[in-house]
Amino acid sequence: MSMYGNETHVIKGIKFGVLPPHEIIRMAKVTVIRDAIYEADGSPVAGGLRDPHFGAIEPGERCPVCGNTRDTCPGHFGKIDLARPVIVPHYGDALHGILQATCRNCGRILIPTDRIKYLTAIKERLKKRWPKLADTFVEEVKREAAARMECPHCGARQFKIRFIKPFTFYEEHPEGERRLNPIDVRERVEKTIDEDLVLLGVDPKYSRPEWMIITSLPVPPLSVRPSITLETGYRAEDDLTHALAEIVRQNERLKNFLISNAPETMIEDAWLTLQHVVASYIDNELPNTYQLTHRKKRALKTLAQRLKGKEGRLRGNLSGKRVNYSARTVISPDPMISINEVGVPVEIAKILTVPIMVTPYNIEEARKYVLNGPDKWPGATYVYKARNGKKIDLRYIRNHKQLAEGLEVGDIVERHLIDGDIVLFNRQPSLHRMSILGHIVRVMPYKTFRLNPLVCPPYNADFDGDEMNLHVPRLYEAMVEARELLLVEKHILTPRYGGPIIGGRQDYISGAYLLTVKTSLFTEEEVAQILAAAGYKGPLPEPAILKPRKLWTGKQLVSLFLPDDLDFKGKSKINAGNLKCDTEDCFHDSYIVVSGGKLLMGVLDKNAIGAEQPENLLHIIALEYGVTKARILLDTLFKGFIRALEMRGLTIALDDIEIPEEAKEEIRRMVEEYKEKVAQLIRDYEEGRLEVIPGRTPEESLELKIIGLLQELREKAGQVAVAHMDPFNDVFIMARTGARGGEVNITQMAAMLGQQTVRGKRIRRGFRKRTLPHFKENDLSPEARGFVKGNFRDGLRPTEVFFHAAGGREGLVDTAVKTSQSGYMQRRLINALQDLVVSYDGTVKDAWGNIVQFKYGEDGVDPTLSYHGDGVKIDRIIQRVAKKNGGRR
């Protein structure tokens, strides 16, 4: 079949070794001796870095080596013959180990003969079962050999070898250090014998140590270092070519010195320079070497730089490939689609395609797609004919009708994405498995991906310009896998903490509260509105109030969606402060009781329906009635919450954070009172009467006490403000239910911002001995050190704005630093843990079958199937059984 026949081979392993010199010479088709690249007439210099023997690259050119044109010539290596040998920098450590462990005279390992045999036998045994231990064993052997200062074979005295990365060796004689140049090093390691090398962890067949010092440097073909022609007609060479040209230059210089019998110091100097440029050609970021640079001081990208780092070959091109059948655009919210769905713009649906095999059952459908063609959705872009294996591009076909009619069973139609297809949806950073979920396609107008806002928490998405990626699985296996494992509803519960990660936020919570709060009663028309939005089609329950009009409570409406036998008890978020209740005997409606699927008491707020709230109503439903039931609730009832909210309206205005003049007066009074207290502290401090906190200096004690006082002040001011506000104004509702904001935000808007801090301390930096020129030097008073008595409603003074900005900056810097640090940690952790698997017997094993944990998590519990980590919740089981037995326990 293929040009190579039908043999199949299984790769058993990959062996790395050092490229031997004869191999380098055999590969080389040209020896580079000139650093010029082009002749004056523009043709490549013979024996230069663009010698035709590197392979054909120009159109029409014939390769002098293999005779092919540029389409088929693979490119050929050349070499540079170095005038003196140099050490390959990355082998420095290996050479150091061998030099230290072997005799400087006879080259044998510094271990007695019979012990060599003994140790080799141990090493071979270890290698079979504990390869990692064999490596540490080799290190032990090396240490033992290096410690012996007299050769057991020839009796020669040994000296310590000092190694300076990456290629400098010194031998420490009693009378002083002596440098070992590459020739010395090579002469020594040449003398080592194969058996000794094996004990030193080297496979001499593939890696003789003298190969680590080179006299012939391989020069890669032009396909590895292509030159580009600029619009101006100038040719720009690749960085590798520049680096190689520098090597040729330095090599020729050294050659001339040698020929002309130049003084030894000059030769040594030129040799060292050659060593440096060869090292930099391999890795331009080595310590203790000069960087090769362009004229404008930009460091050259040499071999190691191509491979290393995020944009390098490994991370950038091999682990991180770019893919087809993917799309990216801005996301925007659509609360009316299912949480399992994603809205895809038509424009994108016409580019992303799925191959469908034509069968007798879908041939008519397939014909429709072909007839529509590539521009009309839902159409098709390509047809693969089974008859001749030809691929037909529908963009260039005039007669779609003919092609559609000619469609046969077995053909493959590459059709547009349509409603009901499954796709993978992703938002970076992909920090946990819920960062990629399976969504069902809904093709829509306009240009954004549409996402149900309930699915924001797992992606950590919002709609302030976030973009997301979409991928189309094209094989049936992949599609089924996505549907069965990745679908959004299968990830309502997170393994991170065993609770629901999907759930209400913001308006959903306000809406649920306003729907279920005692004071909300709905007319028949309103009930119809809410239930229609929620997609309820059943009969209405008896109204709670019959006269003068029929009125329903929100709790009645919620109950329509709950499972018939659901029992649930728990505190609402509003269960705090004045509304605190610890039992079901709660007159504040802040203790939730669901019995027999009826919401009897309590308002639904963040604690009942919020995202990332373990053991809430949603969690219990997902656990006990299945995630599909939970999803149906999210797709129905939650739309009712939104509709209820829309009908009432939720908005905030300046009025909502306005407090009466007498409250303001009270706060002003408190500010004066506390300012005096602080002044008293400062006086005490200045007069040395301040009580010092143990373990603190007087200065620190003063600061701590001032911060404590001012914090107290802000809290008190907040309490005053809250006490004077209408508890049913919209700001307050959002704060109490947990929809958005809290007491701090209300305090800051209505009462005062309070003390601004940088690194937990009052603000002190800026000018000499003062924060701003508005204050005197050494002023320790609150207003000079970042205390803001103003609030957002009434506005801040200029100095207050400055302090607030200084405090706010810290938060921004912190998040920037934290994300980069935790991102790196995440990367390391994932690399370390990626191939661990929980086996069927509950053990955790790595890819080699080594046991990592004898029982997953030491308790074998899957957090997503547990009650927030507990395998069984005995209370709920007892309750259920008791209920089944008619209340008897």
Partner 1 sequence: MPSKSRRITKKILKHELVPEHRILTLEEAAEVLRRYNVKPWNLPQISINDPVIKLLGGKPGDIVEIRRRSPTGGEAVAYRIVVPF
Q: Could you list the residues that contact partner 1 (CB under 8 A)?
A: 129-130, 133, 136-137, 140, 143-144, 841, 843, 845, 848-852, 854-855, 857-861, 869
Min dist. Cβ of residue 63 to Zn ion (A)? 3
Tell me how far apart the 2 most distant CA atoms of the chain are, in Å.
119
Min dist. Cβ of residue 850 to partner 1 (A)? 5
Min dist. Cβ of residue 138 to partner 1 (A)? 12
Q: How far apart are CA 744 and CA 308, in angstroms?
A: 48
Pairing of strands 213-219, 754-755: unpaired
In terms of CB distance, is 49 or 746 closer to Zn ion?
A: 49
* Subset of 663-702 contacting Mg ion (CB under 5 A): none
Q: How far apart are CA 511 and CA 804, in angstroms?
A: 33
In terms of CB distance, is 71 or 464 closer to Mg ion?
A: 464
Q: Which does 466 bind (CB under 5 to 8 A by kind): partner 1, Zn ion, Mg ion, none?
A: Mg ion
Q: How far apart are CA 268 and CA 168, in angstroms?
A: 13
* Residues 36, 39, 44, 50, Cα dihedral to 10°: 10
Q: How far apart are CA 362 and CA 271, in angstroms?
A: 75
Min dist. Cβ of residue 3 to Zn ion (A)? 19
In terms of CB distance, is 298 or 496 closer to partner 1?
A: 496
Q: Which does 841 bind (CB under 5 to 8 A by kind): Mg ion, partner 1, Zn ion, none?
A: partner 1
Cα–Cα distances in Å, from 319 out to 244, 304, 856? 29, 17, 29
- Helices 239-259 and 264-282 pack at an angle, to 10 degrees, of 160
In terms of CB distance, is 177 or 462 closer to Mg ion?
A: 462
In terms of CB distance, is 427 or 598 closer to Mg ion?
A: 427
Side chain identity, residue 886: G
User: Contact residues for Zn ion (CB under 5 A)?
Assistant: 55, 63, 65-66, 73, 103, 105-106, 151, 153-154, 156
Contact between residue 551 and residue 527 where contact means Cβ atoms under 8 Å apart: no
Pairing of strands 436-444, 341-345: parallel
How many CB atoms sit inside 10 A of residue 828's CB? 9
* Residues 576, 580, 585, 586, Cα dihedral to 10°: -70
1-11 b/e (C-beta count within 10 Å ≥ 16 → b): eeeeeeeeeee
DSSP 595-626: ETTEEEES--SHHHHBTT-TTSHHHHHHHHH-
In terms of CB distance, is 142 or 785 closer to Zn ion?
A: 142
Q: Which does 105 bind (CB under 5 to 8 A by kind): Zn ion, partner 1, Mg ion, none?
A: Zn ion
Interaction mask 435-464, Mg ion, x per CB under 5 A? ---------------------------x-x
Min dist. Cβ of residue 745 to Mg ion (A)? 20
Min dist. Cβ of residue 54 to Zn ion (A)? 8
* Subset of 463-482 contacting Mg ion (CB under 5 A): 464, 466
Beta bridge partners of 229: 235
Q: Which does 464 bind (CB under 5 to 8 A by kind): Mg ion, partner 1, Zn ion, none?
A: Mg ion
Q: Which does 183 bind (CB under 5 to 8 A by kind): Mg ion, partner 1, Zn ion, none?
A: none
Min dist. Cβ of residue 144 to partner 1 (A)? 7
Contact between residue 508 and residue 642 where contact means Cβ atoms under 8 Å apart: yes
Q: Which does 833 bind (CB under 5 to 8 A by kind): partner 1, Zn ion, Mg ion, none?
A: none
In terms of CB distance, is 129 or 537 closer to partner 1?
A: 129
* Residues 770, 776, 782, 786, Cα dihedral to 10°: -40
At residue 177, φ and ψ (nearest 5 deg) are -80, 150
Q: How far apart are CA 386 and CA 384, in angstroms?
A: 6
| Residue corresponding to tokens 């007319």 | 523
Min dist. Cβ of residue 456 to Mg ion (A)? 10
Contact between residue 162 and residue 140 where contact means Cβ atoms under 8 Å apart: no
Q: Which does 849 bind (CB under 5 to 8 A by kind): Mg ion, partner 1, Zn ion, none?
A: partner 1
In terms of CB distance, is 498 or 807 closer to partner 1?
A: 498
Q: Which does 66 bind (CB under 5 to 8 A by kind): Zn ion, Mg ion, partner 1, none?
A: Zn ion
Min dist. Cβ of residue 175 to Zn ion (A)? 21
Min dist. Cβ of residue 74 to Zn ion (A)? 6
Q: Is 599 exposed, middle or buried (0-12, 13-18, 19+ CB in 10 A)?
A: buried
Contact between residue 373 and residue 400 where contact means Cβ atoms under 8 Å apart: yes
Q: Which does 851 bind (CB under 5 to 8 A by kind): Zn ion, partner 1, Mg ion, none?
A: partner 1
The answer to whether residue 332 forms part of the interface with Mg ion (CB under 5 A) is: no
Q: Which does 410 bind (CB under 5 to 8 A by kind): Zn ion, Mg ion, partner 1, none?
A: none
Whether omega for the bond prior to residue 548 falls within 30 degrees of 0, making it cis, is yes
Q: How far apart are CA 167 and CA 83, in angstroms?
A: 18
In terms of CB distance, is 78 or 97 closer to partner 1?
A: 97
Min dist. Cβ of residue 792 to Mg ion (A)? 23
At residue 388, φ and ψ (nearest 5 deg) are -130, 5
Q: Which does 832 bind (CB under 5 to 8 A by kind): partner 1, Zn ion, Mg ion, none?
A: none
Q: Which does 154 bind (CB under 5 to 8 A by kind): Zn ion, partner 1, Mg ion, none?
A: Zn ion
Q: Which of 790, 789, 798 is nearest to 678 (CA)?
A: 789
In terms of CB distance, is 462 or 835 closer to partner 1?
A: 835
Interaction mask 218-247, Mg ion, x per CB under 5 A? ------------------------------
Q: Interface with Mg ion by CB under 5 A: which residues? A: 462, 464, 466
